[in-house]
Structure 1
């Protein structure tokens, strides 16, 4: 897996860090990001300030002492003035409740992929076509005997446009780092400027050129640097979707498969879900060993020890990958017993219907 945010927007802006670190790709991989974070810990000498392998179970506000009491599985861990839970929003995995799932011996959530797992020559099923699902499909489909993809919602993925970074290119980029870091705090966290022009200010030919230019730039530009009315005009959004869908259908040979990947009617407005990035995702469905199942038409009814049964067929499988995402945004917060003033639980606080919950609460 890799990040969908291009260099340098997914790194720290401290000069003593970015001046010395050398990324090898525009969109770094998991392995390189891990190496970077380890290097940062060494560079800033913060290892001694981190308790690794520690799961926080509770945080209670002590009104009398005016501080937080932080608990781990081993009991009271710390008493602090401030409690800043930087727990991320893809921490708590979502596992579907398919009947019989527990009977399948080699079923793995994408977040818990075993280090030594090889699927070469195997019959593999994958449930989910989000950001993780797309990357897994791209990487395993050339080597497996068969890949059955169970799709609920088509992913409006746009081109990644990966680029290898050499010393010359890195040097050129670093001259712009301070300005780019300034942009990061005011432009959605990226360097994408949305134009003031609206979709139908351009004629059809001009729109095609504009859309192609965004596709060629890659990354999230087709989403974040598109016309100003992309997310405020239904007609403008449909025009962007039309271009995207045609680009997909041009890459997929089987019209029936293309219709599932890029239906005529958009399943939702483009950009209302964060688009994933891809390099060869749609071409993978041209392979003879890749099968696409639309679970809206043929839902999964049961998982058996040797495969998956839908309402139409039974698919024999050796490995089942659950790329089914996470209890996003709030999941990691609500798994901790966080209690504030008066012992009120965070969940209870958020459920309040009056303004005391904080209309603009940000965590």
Structure 2
């Protein structure tokens, strides 16, 4: 390969084979670009390949948690229940890969260890763990927002002689908890889903909780055939609804403040939402994430539900959160609180009894040595930026993305798809996009279409190089912060703010304005000849 002629192995290089990667490779291929996808796993699936932990389910309703760009694809697949399991979602992604015939454009078990922008030859050099380097004009991160597992820095983890797992990196082989003494560390979404399932098998289960959670019933149920048929026959209307709602999926959100109704009316609304389950509860009123007073009504309702469900009063109080409801990721459960009524299940509050070290036989806290056969880390992810930093990406003049964004504490992008000084590098549902605050497949379709159209528009102008204007990045970042500062999100520590990662200062790199507003802004950028981007 002659660098003087600016030759590359591919026009577009895509990293990741989940929802983002599959659609990106398909869309770029259909646009006539030479594209190659790379995935560190042995097959497609992205986060759903790794998240095989017991009880793993999606919290978006399944009829909306799929691609809608193709009517043929939409009609051919049938979901079994309201909230799909990991296994079913993984099957869906395999189905999509086959139907779109994109697997032949992927190389599997190929992990990116570094990527450098070559200023002289204006191309990306991407290095893999097998010491192979691949070049491309466009470098696309389809790595998702939650793909870098966060294993807390607890000393002694290497000396534990039992088996330990992380919910975000679960083995393909089924894990047997029968007749085992098991610990689960963490009570976020994956912990809340896994704990009731593990409790059914384990001889004993000890849950180590740092922060209690507001969990609302999922109320999962099997779909009727007639309902599924009606959904398949109404794809266009459903797609229009998905693209016109804040969350990227239809909800029963009531455009009224919680303070505009009496206590009795609110209790009836919350009770109805609790019974329906899922996102009906967090969208019961339109100001739960804006007004502290409104939020307090929802939080109080859930705490009362916890107290009426958990029989041990002390345990119930330990399970009651005190922060703002839904300012962390809303969690939908299936029997989580009821699990603590079982005699073989124990709750340990690590704020009162911190973990000191893992020993050969288990966990030593400041008060007790607990012996375990297996330990499950349900400690979440280094969200939003972790999967990007993991690839060790360097832009102009060799500056790393970590340096550019001050290790995640000063994230700045334009529309969540690009950042300055990293030419021809694009992120799908990247920082400062709506991403994790909405139904991801909708965001992914919109992002991939935007990036594809941007590249094609640039090529029509006789160029291949795309950069972002610094002012566009600064203005977009200010806009994101201005909107977020009106909400309770920024007043609550969570993986949204990055404070689940040790020694990281709080930041909130998500666009809170809702998907319709975001799409309208992107459409305006397109109409203005991709304002904010420059080609050379």
TM-score range, shorter chain: over 0.9
Give the aligned partner of residue 310 of structure 1: 365
Deviation at 1:195, TM superposition (A): 2.5
Match of 2:266 among 207, 211, 219: 207
CA distance in 1, matches of 2:332, 2:235: 24
Tell me whether 307-316 or 285-294 shows the greater mean CA deviation.
Answer: 307-316
1:39-67 Cα offsets, whole Å, 9 max, x none, are: 11111111111111111122222233333
Deviation at 1:117, TM superposition (A): 2.1
1:215-272 Cα offsets, whole Å, 9 max, x none, are: 222112211x121221111111111101111112111111111101115xx1x21111
Give the aligned partner of residue 17 of structure 1: 73
Deviation at 1:318, TM superposition (A): 1.1
CA distance in 1, matches of 2:211, 2:235: 37
CA distance in 2, matches of 1:46, 1:358: 33
Give the aligned partner of residue 72 of structure 1: 128
Is 1:136 the counterpart of 2:213? The answer is no
SS class of match (1:57): strand
Is 1:249 the counterpart of 2:339? The answer is no
SS class of match (2:139): coil
CA RMSD of aligned residues (A): 2.0
Is 1:146 the counterpart of 2:204? The answer is yes
Give the aligned partner of residue 251 of structure 2: 192
Give the aligned partner of residue 102 of structure 1: 158
Deviation at 1:323, TM superposition (A): 0.9
**TM superposition score normalised by structure 2:** 0.64
Is 1:358 the counterpart of 2:473? The answer is yes
Deviation at 1:193, TM superposition (A): 5.0
Match of 1:118 among 173, 176, 185: 176
Deviation at 1:159, TM superposition (A): 0.8
Deviation at 1:24, TM superposition (A): 0.9
SS class of match (2:230): helix
User: Do the aligned partners of residues 50 and 295 (structure 1) sit closer, same or farther apart at CA in structure 2, a change above 3 Å counting?
Assistant: same
User: Do the aligned partners of residues 65 and 171 (structure 1) sit closer, same or farther apart at CA in structure 2, a change above 3 Å counting?
Assistant: same
Give the aligned partner of residue 278 of structure 2: 219
CA distance in 2, matches of 1:196, 1:42: 42
CA distance in 2, matches of 1:152, 1:72: 37
Give the aligned partner of residue 382 of structure 2: 327
Give the aligned partner of residue 177 of structure 1: 235
Deviation at 1:314, TM superposition (A): 2.1
User: Do the aligned partners of residues 176 and 213 (structure 1) sit closer, same or farther apart at CA in structure 2, a change above 3 Å counting?
Assistant: farther
Match of 1:53 among 97, 109, 122: 109
Match of 1:230 among 285, 288, 291: 288
1:320-339 Cα offsets, whole Å, 9 max, x none, are: 11111111111111111212
Is 1:299 the counterpart of 2:354? The answer is yes
Question: 1:8·1:177 contact (CA, 8 Å) conserved in 2?
Answer: no
CA distance in 2, matches of 1:118, 1:102: 21
Question: 2:157·2:359 contact (CA, 8 Å) conserved in 1?
Answer: yes
Give the aligned partner of residue 30 of structure 2: none
SS class of match (1:5): coil
Deviation at 1:275, TM superposition (A): 1.5
Give the aligned partner of residue 456 of structure 2: none
SS class of match (1:178): helix
SS class of match (1:256): helix
Question: Higher RCO, 1 or 2 (CA under 8 Å, sep at least 6)?
Answer: 1
Deviation at 1:192, TM superposition (A): 2.0
CA distance in 2, matches of 1:99, 1:64: 45
CA distance in 2, matches of 1:208, 1:57: 52
1:93-120 Cα offsets, whole Å, 9 max, x none, are: 1112223221112122222333242010
Deviation at 1:30, TM superposition (A): 0.9
Question: Aligned residue pairs: how many?
Answer: 359
Deviation at 1:181, TM superposition (A): 2.0
CA distance in 1, matches of 2:411, 2:193: 40
**TM superposition score normalised by structure 1:** 0.93
